[in-house]
A = this chain, B = another copy of it.
Amino acid sequence: MASVKSIVPEFEAANQKYAASFTKGSLPLPPGRKVIVLVCMDARLDPAKLLGLEEGDAHVIRNAGGRAADALRSVVISQQLLGTREIVVIHHTDCGMLTFTDSELKSKVRKDLNEDADHIAFLSFKDLKQSVLDDISLLKKNPLVLDIPITGYVYDVKTGKINKVEA
């Protein structure tokens, strides 16, 4: 393990540059644009760049697939304590979540790690548009989530465009 080069020195050097010209030190805690953006963790997506977000604008929740079921804790905190009143859900083309089934990943974990991952719902999906609609529906039906506007998009990793998903 020790022979692998860590990314940490590069991150620290990049952060020194960022901090040297930092001018956002007095932003308030609650998001200025009162919105949650729920996006896949995929490396190719930069939510701030692709939506024009500045520091202070929005809560950004990211997980594998941008799945709502795995974001509820954060959504409740955001809405109840920090005043967000809109949600934008963004999944994307060529998503890793389209490439496996939960049972395949559980088998891999059992084989490679000799561990049981049966207690985790990995939330893989087969239909990208449906996954967005399902996540909007899950949020809209959850009694802990406020009745606020929720919009869904598929981001195209080849073009950089978001395309709205409608039922």
Oligomeric state, in number of copies? 2
B11 and A112 contacting across the interface, CB-CB below 8 Å: no
A160 smallest CB distance to B (angstroms): 3
Which of chain A's residues 8-45 have a Cβ closer than 8 Å to chain B? 8, 10-19, 22, 24-27, 29-36, 41-45
- Chain A: interface residue total (CB-CB under 8 A): 93
A96 and B73 contacting across the interface, CB-CB below 8 Å: no
Among residues of B, the one whose C-beta sits closest to the C-beta of A90 is B11
B14 and A41 contacting across the interface, CB-CB below 8 Å: no
Among residues of B, the one whose C-beta sits closest to the C-beta of A143 is B115
Report the separation of the CA atoms of residues A102 and B32 in the bound assembly, to the nearest whole angstrom: 25
Decide yes or no whether A120 CB sits under 8 A from chain B: yes
